Structure 1
Amino acid sequence: MVHQYKLGGYNIVIDANSGSVHSVDDVAYDIIGMYENADFDEICKEILPKYASENLTEQDIRDVMDDLEELQKEGTLFSEDIFEEAASKIKRKQSVLKAICLHVAHGCNMDCRYCFAGKGDYSGKAGIMPLEVGKQALDYLVEQSGSRKNLEVDFFGGEPLLNWDVCKELVAYGRELEKKYDKKFNFTLTTNGLLIDDEVIDFCNKEMGNVVLSLDGRKEVHDFMRHTQSGEGTYDKIIEKFKRLADARNQQNYYMRGTYTAYNKDFAKDVLHMADMGFKETSIEPVVSAPDVDYALHEEDVPFLCEQYEELAEGMLERKKKGEGFNFYHYTIDLTGGPCIYKRVAGCGVGTEYQAVTPTGDLYPCHQFVGNDEMLMGNVYEGVTHPEIVEMFLKGNNVYTRDKCRDCFAKRYCAGGCSANNYHSNGDIDKVYELGCELHRKRIECAIMLKVAEQELGLEE
């Protein structure tokens, strides 16, 4: 499967099955588009008049076609998909747990309009995780991790800083388990920032491998959706704290995490605002919501949103040329190594490698399934008591079981997208959330264009 597009002044050709990317001239680009369905004479008839002013010859076309034939033999263009038969076996390799999302607080000191967690308390299922439940969750992770050495734990909510003392004690307990079982915990904190202080910053710098900071961008955008329980805007309450934390981490091992809605479809300005504030690690996601709410995104918004991704990519490239570059999560892509084929085919490991734990110790496939009784898997004391849920994710949930992934050029970059988004929009983990897919395809195009530009302009780090 070959995907061609023009962006940023570059002609880009992606061989989806091999992952190879080619930047070519206009003639080669046009010939590639005809290569599989036309012979030499047909190609000459089409191409020679189009490039008459450039004195193109039949031999020039033959040379291009010879190059394409060689690339095909090498398996980097028009390559075969060799992974479909092995997909189910690949997915089974995700059956060992390696990460948990600890919901240490089902409660929040903010009242964000679009919150998927029902205003932070998961629609009335409020609660604070006791230390004993958290310890049992870490024990459960170790027990289920098999021979895996590196384990991931995300302190999540609601707002986890509402239960900060327990977070710190669980980190200490995790360090004890490391020595006892020869494991290595990587802890992450996801926070809205209201309760950040110097003590939190110092502890995070010592113990947290990553920190996720919630900021939607410009003050007016952020405050419109993210406010306190009493209705006050929160931008001014958090922005300086976020700056201190990011600077204290040398602008590494953190990222800003925003959400854009119908009220800021010009979200490129919000990402650039984050960069203007000095943040080097940025991210912003499209809201996923019921279609009838006022802030929902709809299919008719997609063309403009795609333009925004292009505008952001071009803006990032111009800044990088000036030595003012920054990272955008969805444009961070590795064309030389990147995720292994297991991850590219099987996805994030929801429900298998990764599970979420509620304050009472209940287990769900991931944080976005928490509170959905149909997805309750078990608890940290008894383990998985509903293996059919795990089996659902092992049997499906890959690029060959999803209804529209097979013929999508981006399938190896998203591995079929988010199961929770699929489930909440279509009631089926294998029926894709099409609006999200359209936006992700555009992000991949932009990300690859940036990599091509950086290489050709000598801007690679």
Structure 2
Amino acid sequence: MRMYSDKLQTDTVLKKSPFLVVNQIDNNEVRIYSKLHGNLSCFSPDINEVLKFFESPVAADEAVHKISKIYKCDSFGLIKELYDKRFLVEENKNGKDIFQEYVEKVRSKNKIPNITKVTFLTSAKCNLACKGCYHHFYDFKSNDMNNDFASQFVEGLFTYLKKREITTLLISFLGYEPLLNFKALRGIYENADRMSKKYNIDTSFKLFTNAFKLNRKIFNWIRHNKSKLGIMVSLDGIEEDNDKRRVDLTGQGTYDRVVENLKRILAADIKCRVITVLSKLNISNIEKFVDEMAAIGVKGITANIFCGHSEEERQLELTETEKFEALKRMEQATEKYDMEFDGEWKFAVVQMITGAYFSCPAGIKQLVLSADGTIYPCQRFAGTNMNFGSYHEDFWQTILDGQCEGYNRWTAALYDRVADRIKGDEADLAGWSCPFVPFIREQFISMNFDRVLNENLLDYYLTRPLNRILSNSPINY
């Protein structure tokens, strides 16, 4: 019996996947992806006729024969591609079984985390008093990070990466304001840079800062290391909007001072993006904000959706309709300047159409270390009981052995209820919510509160130029 591929045989009976999405872009292009396996692909409109052959189950060899009569193409190669990308599936597989199989495969794959991003919460102080800061909601009592302690963590990290055959790493620095503990930040950077050369692991660095204070010493260090170090500067809109929320310790606005330092960074040709939080405070002036950032040379904006911690703060949250409209408007505004645009919301969308997963990569691909040694899946959980315990000498080996109780609880919470999404008439397959959102709502962290938003974004981005869909993202998936 002839084999078409490792899995596909001539007598294999195939049908269209129940998760197949076909979108006619124009007279020349059709885009296809699986709501389960992703694999966004572009075809000519002829693909519509090919897929009609699989409306009802048909043997692979019979389909090859039919297609070859109509089209001058490699019929076998085309069917193999459609099958390998899971656009076609075996006749006896239904949606529920395929979904369950996929979830278990992903869960098994992530039994041992593949960490490609580590964040250090280097400072326990901040020079601003922003309204709605998530550090104010939980009793996050930490200290400034000690460089000697951080070095132990880094050395274990690179040993882990080598054993897992992971070749890339992104190290991020957060605070409160990380530059207020510049000594430790610089020490971590230098040690990790040295270890990356020793273990031949491509390591880059990202600094999240409010850029409110940037003295000459720190600025010169950033400029000296700009080949590996990128900067994320926080601004929440035009001056009027930003200064409603981002204020200094005396209650004064911060926009002017931050923008002046942002200009210095950009003038030195340092890789820099602006990170903003969308809320009712700044939704009215999105286009004006993008215009202002473009005018000073900003090449990329990361926008996340404001999530209130208290009942009062939740009044600032956008409605589902407003979220989509705000992101769509910012996408169009940034496209005008060929400016990259992404955010946490986009990770779910990109994953769904390129290689779908149903949970945030927090904890699975990234870890966060606080100064007291507690390890979190994400910085938003700092100060909560959602953690992997405290760092100890055997931590990385415990992770490698699959014996980290905190990690195992985390993945169980992420995946245990994912299988429920296939139930009902409308399967909930549209990406995921940031797990912190259901967490503060006291719900299961695998719940998808953003289903409607994700579905709208999927429909919208499927029609966008590919370079707008697949722009670079802060998190490596």
Instruction: Answer yes or no: same fold by TM over 0.5.
Output: yes
- Residue 137 (structure 1) aligns with: 153
Summarize the alignment of residues 11-90 of structure 1 with structure 2, pairs less than 5 Å apart.
Answer: 14-16=32-34, 17-21=37-41, 74-75=81-82, 79-80=88-89, 83-90=102-109
Counterpart for residue 401 of structure 1: 418
Pick one of 125, 128, 136 that aligns with 2:141.
125
Write the mapping of 1:155-166 to structure 2, written as runs, cut at 5 A: 155-166=173-184
What is the rounded CA distance, in whole Å, between the counterparts of 1:408 and 1:13 in structure 2? 21
Would you say 1:105 and 2:119 are equivalent positions? no
CA distance in 1, matches of 2:178, 2:254: 17
Partner of 1:326: 339
**8 Å contact from structure 1 (residues 216, 222) kept in 2:** yes
Structure 2 residue 251 is the aligned partner of structure 1 residue 220 = no
* CA shift in 2, pair 1:354/1:261, >3 Å: same
Identify the residue that residue 392 of structure 1 maps to in structure 2. Answer: 409
Q: Distance in 1 between matches of 2:126 and 2:151?
A: 22
The structure-2 alpha-carbon separation of the partners of 1:178 and 1:87, relative to structure 1 and needing over 3 Å to count, comes to closer
Query: Percent identity among equivalent residues?
Result: 18
Which one of the candidate residues 389, 394, 400 is aligned to 1:377? 389
Q: CA deviation at 1:231?
A: 0.2
Q: How far did residue 326 of structure 1 move?
A: 1.1
* Aligned equivalent of 1:293, options 312, 317, 324: 312
1:439 maps to amino acid: L
Q: What is residue 92 of structure 2 aligned with on the other side?
A: none
Equivalence for 2:372: 360
- Report the secondary structure of 1:89's partner residue: helix
**Counterpart residue identity of residue 91, structure 1:** N
CA contact (8 A) 1:2 1:78 kept: yes
Q: CA deviation at 1:255?
A: 1.8
C-alpha contact 1:226 1:233 (8 A) present in aligned 2: yes
Give the SS at the match of 2:312.
coil
- Please, which of 198, 221, 224 is the counterpart of residue 206 of structure 1? 224
Residue 454 of structure 1: how far off its partner (Å): 8.0
SS of 2:414's partner is coil
Question: Shift of residue 162 of structure 1?
Answer: 0.4
- 1:151 equivalent to 2:164? Answer no
Cross-structure match for 1:43: none
Task: State the shift of 1:297 in Å.
Answer: 5.2
Equivalent residue for 1:260?
278
Deviation at 1:241, TM superposition (A): 0.9
Q: Which runs of 5+ in 2 are unaligned?
A: 1-18, 57-69, 72-76, 90-97, 470-477
Instruction: Kindly state the Cα deviation for residue 134 of structure 1 after the two structures are TM-superposed.
Output: 1.9
Contact 1:403–1:430 under 8 Å retained in 2: no
CA shift for structure 1 position 259: 0.4
Question: Aligned equivalents of 1:263 and 1:341: distance in 2?
Answer: 32
Instruction: Look up the SS of the partner of 1:356 in the other structure.
Output: strand
**Partner of 1:450 in structure 2?**
464
- Give the superposition deviation at 1:235: 0.3
Cα separation, 2, equivalents of 1:8 and 1:234: 46
Q: In structure 2, do the counterparts of structure 1 residues 28 and 364 end up closer, same or farther at CA, with 3 Å as the change threshold?
A: closer
Q: CA deviation at 1:5?
A: 7.2
Q: Secondary structure at the match of 2:464?
A: helix
User: Per-residue displacement from partner, 1:307-364 (whole Å, max 9, x unpaired)?
Assistant: 23333334444x2xxxx32111249989xxx879997437554224422111122222
| Cα deviation, residue 28, structure 1 | 10
Residue 246 (1) aligns with residue 258 (2): no
Matched residue SS, 2:243 = helix
> Measured at CA, do residues 441 and 109 of structure 1 come closer, stay the same or move farther in structure 2, by a change above 3 Å?
farther
Aligned-partner SS, 1:255: strand
Q: CA deviation at 1:174?
A: 2.3
Q: 1:261 offset after TM fit, Å?
A: 1.4
Task: Count residues in correspondence.
Answer: 409
Q: Which amino acid letter does the alignment assign opposite residue 393 of structure 1? A: W
- The AA in structure 1 aligned to 2:384 is N
Separation in 2, partners of 1:293, 1:150: 41
Match in the other structure for 1:458: none
2:9: which partner in 1? none
Q: Distance in 1 between matches of 2:251 and 2:190?
A: 36
Tell me the secondary structure at the aligned position of residue 328 of structure 1. strand
CA 1:9 to 1:276, structure 2 compared with 1: closer, same or farther past 3 Å? farther
d(CA) in 1 for partners of 2:22, 2:102: 22
- The one-letter code matched in structure 2 to 1:378 is S
1:425 aligned partner: 441
Whether the 8 Å contact between 1:201 and 1:248 is mirrored in structure 2 is no
Alignment of 1:116 onto 2:129: no
Summarize the Cα distance change of 1:20–1:365 in structure 2 as closer, same or farther, 3 Å threshold. closer
Sort the Cα spacing of 1:218 and 1:151 in 2 relative to 1 into closer, same or farther, 3 A. Answer: same
* 1:190-223 residue CA offsets vs partner (Å, 9 max, x unmatched): 1010122443333224334322111112111111
Contact 1:4 1:11 in 2 (8 A): no
Could you say which residue in structure 2 is the equivalent of 1:48? none
Distance in structure 2 (CA, Å) of the matches to 1:169 and 1:390: 28
Cα distance change of structure 1 residues 257 and 244 upon mapping to structure 2, 3 Å threshold: same
C-alpha RMSD of the superposition: 4.5
Distance 1:103 1:9, change over 3 A: farther
Does 1:188 pair with 2:186?
A: no
Equivalent position of 1:459 in the other structure: none
Q: Report how far residue 117 of structure 1 moved.
A: 1.5
Cα deviation for residue 378 of structure 1 reads 2.1
Of 281, 300, 305, 1:281 maps to 300
Aligned to 1:40: none
